[in-house]
């Protein structure tokens, strides 16, 4: 039986970031990815993501603040531009916008309150209060996955693609990971398997109250330069400028997709959702062509409270940095998981992310 110190199941941003940090620490590490890296079946693929301090919760504001220098460290190590700071807007529902402003101010983050977004964004035709954050920006998501994989391999981590973990068996001394290519024995196993985590962990007595949603995003050609924004309302929508090879400006709804499963999801366009997004673009951002030039789907793996799960049960470490807002924290979560796997103090408090809360 093959033996390693740490085995990571899942090659999205969280698993790859953990692999890099473990490799830097000299820990013998194997990462198993069910498909190929940067596949389109999960949650980490696609060209872009929003980076932001702007949260209505001080915990996530502080985590984003702690993650920013780690993105710069990753850029320095990889020689790639991964985060472009542009400034960005949060607007719409007054109670939410105010909560974001208060949370950011409580953490010392810079906030510009405005009665509406027009002073910063004359191209955005939306009423209601707004805030501007100078630390919002755009992440190069696919480029990040490639950079992390290259750095992890350089640090001595073995990454096996097309190697799904089919079952786990754990005891006091470690974990056996069953795969089609043979069994692997590890002292610690980090499960960062996204939508596949629930099914994999239930047989070893770790029950995760997760639901999976299939969301869709659209890319629109711009006639004006925009900045990232999140528009809170009955349907929350967001937009991300083109960067790092994106087909255009990404526009999407948050949490309107159908419930599904990791292996049962559809890759087809939802025409009703597509029509809503096109109508929103025409009304709110007329500087974008409302007819999209490209379309993608992705999975949100949701907890009931939308907080992450970062916890351990014996030798198994559960990393569900999910609910549609985990990518920006990738470097911080990778360091956190690496420290947990080596019995060191994590860089962030983990009480909010405990399994015991369910």
The per-residue pLDDT for 180 is 86
- Give the distance from CA 32 to its chain's centroid: 19
The answer to whether residues 308 and 44 touch, using CB atoms and an 8 Å cutoff, is no
- Give the distance from CA 173 to its chain's centroid: 31
How many CB atoms are located within 10 Å of the residue 274 CB? 14
Burial call 197-214: b when 16+ CB within 10 Å, e when fewer: bbebbeebebebebbbbb
Split the chain (358 residues) into runs of 10 and give each run's mean pLDDT.
97 98 98 97 97 98 98 98 98 98 98 96 96 98 98 98 97 95 97 97 96 97 97 97 98 96 96 97 98 97 97 97 93 98 96 96
The count of structural domains within the chain is: 1
> What is the C-alpha separation between 208 and 206, in angstroms, rounded?
6
**Domain carrying residue 107:** 2-357
The per-residue pLDDT for 321 is 78
Q: Pairing state of beta strands 112-114 and 29-32?
A: unpaired
* Residue 278, both tokens: 């096109």
pTM, rounded to two decimals: 0.97
Look up the CATH number of the domain holding residue 316. 3.50.50.60
Using CB atoms within 10 A of its CB, is residue 342 exposed (0-12), middle (13-18) or buried (19+)? middle
């Amino acid at each position: 039986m093959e033996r390693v110190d740490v085995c990571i199941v899942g090659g999205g941003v969280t698993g790859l970031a953990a692999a890099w940090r473990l490799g830097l620490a000299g820990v013998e590490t194997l990462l198993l990815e069910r498909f190929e890296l940067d596949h389109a079946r999960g949650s980490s693929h696609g060209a872009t993501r929003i980076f932001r301090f702007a949260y209505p919760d001080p915990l996530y504001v502080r985590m984003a603040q702690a993650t920013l220098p780690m993105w710069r460290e990753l850029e320095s190590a990889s020689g790639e531009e991964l985060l472009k700071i542009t400034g960005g807007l949060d607007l719409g529902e007054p109670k939410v916008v105010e909560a974001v402003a208060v949370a950011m101010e409580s953490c010392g983050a810079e906030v510009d309150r405005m009665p509406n977004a027009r002073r910063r964004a004359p191209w955005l035709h939306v009423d209601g209060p707004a805030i501007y954050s100078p630390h919002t920006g755009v992440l190069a998501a696919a480029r990040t996955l490639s950079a992390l994989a290259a750095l992890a391999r350089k640090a001595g981590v073995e990454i096996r693609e097309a190697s799904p973990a089919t079952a786990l068996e754990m005891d006091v001394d470690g974990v056996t990971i069953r795969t089609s290519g043979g069994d692997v024995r590890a002292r610690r196993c980090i499960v960062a398997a996204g939508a596949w985590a629930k099914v994999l962990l239930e047989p070893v007595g770790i029950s995760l109250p997760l639901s999976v949603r299939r969301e869709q995003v659209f890319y629109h050609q711009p006639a004006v330069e925009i900045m990232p924004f999140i528009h809170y309302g009955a349907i929350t929508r967001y937009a991300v400028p083109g960067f790092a090879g994106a087909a255009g400006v990404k526009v999407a709804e948050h949490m309107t997709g159908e419930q599904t499963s990791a292996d049962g999801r559809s890759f087809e366009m939802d025409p009703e959702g597509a029509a809503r997004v096109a109508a929103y673009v025409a009304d709110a951002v007329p500087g974008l062509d409302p007819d999209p030039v490209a379309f993608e789907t992705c999975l949100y793996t949701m907890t009931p409270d939308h907080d992450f799960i970062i916890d351990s049960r014996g030798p198994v470490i559960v990393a569900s940095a999910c609910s549609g807002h985990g990518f920006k924290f990738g470097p911080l979560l990778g360091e956190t998981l690496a420290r947990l796997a080596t019995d060191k103090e994590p860089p962030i408090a983990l009480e909010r992310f405990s399994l015991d809360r369910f």
